Structure 1
Amino acid sequence: MNDNNEVFSINYKKSLQYWADIPPTVDGVLGGFGFISNADIEGSELFLKSLLSSESAPCTNVALDCGAGIGRITKYLLLPHFESVDVVEPDEKFINSIKEYVGELASKLGTLYKVGLQEFVPVRKYDVIWNQWVLGYLTDEDLEAYLIRCRDSLSDNGIIVVKENVTSSGKVEKDSTDSSVTRSFKQYIKIFKKCNLKRIKQCKQANFPNGIYPVYMFALVPNNKKIEKSIDHSI
């Protein structure tokens, strides 16, 4: 962690350079924590299934995997539930690995966008937009603009999912190695509100090892969307 007093700001070029040196493997995209992948997918699966079985469930036509890496979430979580999945990933070797990694489900892949989220503009409507371990690479300003673009590209009953590390300190913690930040729970809530997004469900990921950041999942819909009573529990 960058815990000295020097001025820190997110640098997109530096982030790209960091990931350019990371191998296209599960362990690589998870920063050496490949062993948590199964527990992560299990938690996400429970969360997604609860959304898809709710009274105001989204359709299952097309999902978007943002910051997809090699397609781990696309393969194990989204493709089994959706007719088609588009992906956004700025690293060339990662995006070139996706079809092979996904394997027999590759025919259900839609468009692969090689672009950073700060520059990504959706051109279609999505039922679910999944963001995981990627929003810490965006500045607050770019994150808010990005979430608004996502909000405006949701289909009827569409949902944005955010699954991210949160700090225990309540403060932003900065990492100069990959030029990223880890935000607090309250900071995410503040950003969601600024983007006119409301939480319809949130869960804390269970069965992760001690010594790593808490991970929360948020399901977000536009403020003007009428939904059933919100649910808040851990899985």
Structure 2
Amino acid sequence: MATTDDVHTQSDLNPASSEHANNLGNSLPTTDSQISHSQQISYWDAQTADVDGMLGGYPQVSRIDLQGSKNFIAKVRRLTRISHETNSSPSSTTKPSSASGKDSANPTPPKTNTKLNRVLEGGAGIGRITTGLLLNIAQTVDVVEPLKKFTDVLAQYRPTAEQGRIGQIFNSGLESWNPAPDCRYDIIWNQWCLNHLTDKQVVEYLQRTSKTLTGYKPDSNSEKDNETLGWIMVKENLSTDDWGEDIFDDADSSVTRSDRKWKALFEEAGLKIIKMELQSGFPKSLYPVKMYALRPK
């Protein structure tokens, strides 16, 4: 189960639940093994279906959060387009693969001011990020969210939905969601939701969704031919444990992971980091929040 959003203060989480404490003896469970999806459902079902409920009583950070995410996406799109254009510069021996001079098998990334085709918000909650950011940069947004009472809020955007801008709504937890094999996304946005999955579930989810990125060709054995043009983006709280370990929150049954742990999980999932950046402008009482843009290796 994974529901966004969840802003934690540094006093919310119990340092005694860190992996460092667990490593002092074999009698205590590992941090992520304490995760209970049924407890998560109970916690989120008790929250109000509005921005205040989604952000744990910190609705004032929403505007800063959305602006930070918007800026990050723009930087990633600009960076990867420059990289693509540099790597695709034709040499004197290169011939175009079509009459138009374009290689249809290896599409060019859209310009940074062009709307993306289709994106996904994982653990979408009431669609705060969908309506506040993703619909501004994409033609269509699909959402994954286990609680129907949250996705029902999207009904107020009926004109947008009827235009096909709000696409499929999957009422499912991320740990059990299986995207259709032919589905392709330009961005898969995951914010304050992967902390509700175990380490193993995070890796498996990232592996599944990486196969739905634009440009992915399941039958190709060529790394070059299988180069994706889409991104998986992760935005999560970071642990400030003195030992750099993960911290368990028994209130919503989630894990606040260290930067080191996130990078290890991305590596295990076969993903490379294209860009990463800390969110700025949040109150100092909140945990640091980091954004990662990922692509398959």
**TM-score computed with the length of structure 2 as normaliser:** 0.72
Q: Which structure: larger Rg?
A: 2
**Residue identity matched to 2:187:** V
Q: 1:118 aligns with which of 175, 179, 186?
A: 175
Give the conservation status (yes or no) of the 8 Å contact 1:58–1:127: no
- 1:76 is displaced (CA, Å) by 1.2
**Residue identity matched to 1:143:** V
Q: How many residues align?
A: 222
Give the conservation status (yes or no) of the 8 Å contact 1:203–1:216: yes
**Residue identity matched to 1:83:** Q
Q: Match of 1:226?
A: none
The separation in 1 between residues aligned to 2:14 and 2:240, in whole angstroms, is 16
The alignment's C-alpha RMSD in Å is 1.6
Q: Match of 1:36?
A: 61
The separation in 2 between residues aligned to 1:122 and 1:49, in whole angstroms, is 26
The separation in 2 between residues aligned to 1:186 and 1:210, in whole angstroms, is 21
Q: Match of 2:261?
A: 187
CA displacement 1:139-190 (0-9 Å, x = unmatched): 0111110000011111120100000000122111110111101000000000
**Percent identity over paired residues:** 39
The separation in 1 between residues aligned to 2:15 and 2:38, in whole angstroms, is 21
**Residue identity matched to 2:74:** K
The separation in 2 between residues aligned to 1:158 and 1:121, in whole angstroms, is 18
- The 5-angstrom pairing of residues 5-84 of structure 1 reads 7=29, 9-54=34-79, 55=81, 56=84, 58-59=109-110, 60-84=116-140
Q: Match of 2:149?
A: 93
- 1:211 is displaced (CA, Å) by 1.2
Q: Match of 1:138?
A: 197
**Residue identity matched to 1:105:** T
Give the conservation status (yes or no) of the 8 Å contact 1:132–1:164: yes
Q: Match of 1:165?
A: 237
Q: Match of 1:227?
A: none
- 1:34 is displaced (CA, Å) by 0.7
Relative contact order, higher structure (CA 8 A, sep 6+): 2
Give the conservation status (yes or no) of the 8 Å contact 1:58–1:128: no
The separation in 2 between residues aligned to 1:18 and 1:58, in whole angstroms, is 40
SS in 1 for 2:44: helix
Q: Determine whether 1:128 maps to 2:187.
A: yes
SS in 1 for 2:137: coil
Structure 1 or 2: more strand by fraction: 1
The separation in 1 between residues aligned to 2:62 and 2:279, in whole angstroms, is 12
The separation in 1 between residues aligned to 2:187 and 2:155, in whole angstroms, is 20
Give the conservation status (yes or no) of the 8 Å contact 1:61–1:127: yes
SS in 2 for 1:80: helix
SS in 1 for 2:138: coil
- 1:95 is displaced (CA, Å) by 1.1
Give the conservation status (yes or no) of the 8 Å contact 1:10–1:138: yes
- 1:105 is displaced (CA, Å) by 3.1
The separation in 2 between residues aligned to 1:35 and 1:135, in whole angstroms, is 23
**TM-score computed with the length of structure 1 as normaliser:** 0.90
- In structure 1, stretches of 5+ residues that fail to align are 224-235
The separation in 1 between residues aligned to 2:274 and 2:130, in whole angstroms, is 23
The separation in 2 between residues aligned to 1:162 and 1:10, in whole angstroms, is 20
SS in 1 for 2:60: helix
The separation in 2 between residues aligned to 1:36 and 1:103, in whole angstroms, is 26
SS in 2 for 1:61: strand
- 1:111 is displaced (CA, Å) by 0.2
**Residue identity matched to 1:37:** S
The separation in 2 between residues aligned to 1:154 and 1:144, in whole angstroms, is 16
- In structure 2, stretches of 5+ residues that fail to align are 1-12, 18-27, 85-107, 111-115, 216-228
Q: 1:105 aligns with which of 139, 150, 160?
A: 160
- 1:97 is displaced (CA, Å) by 1.0
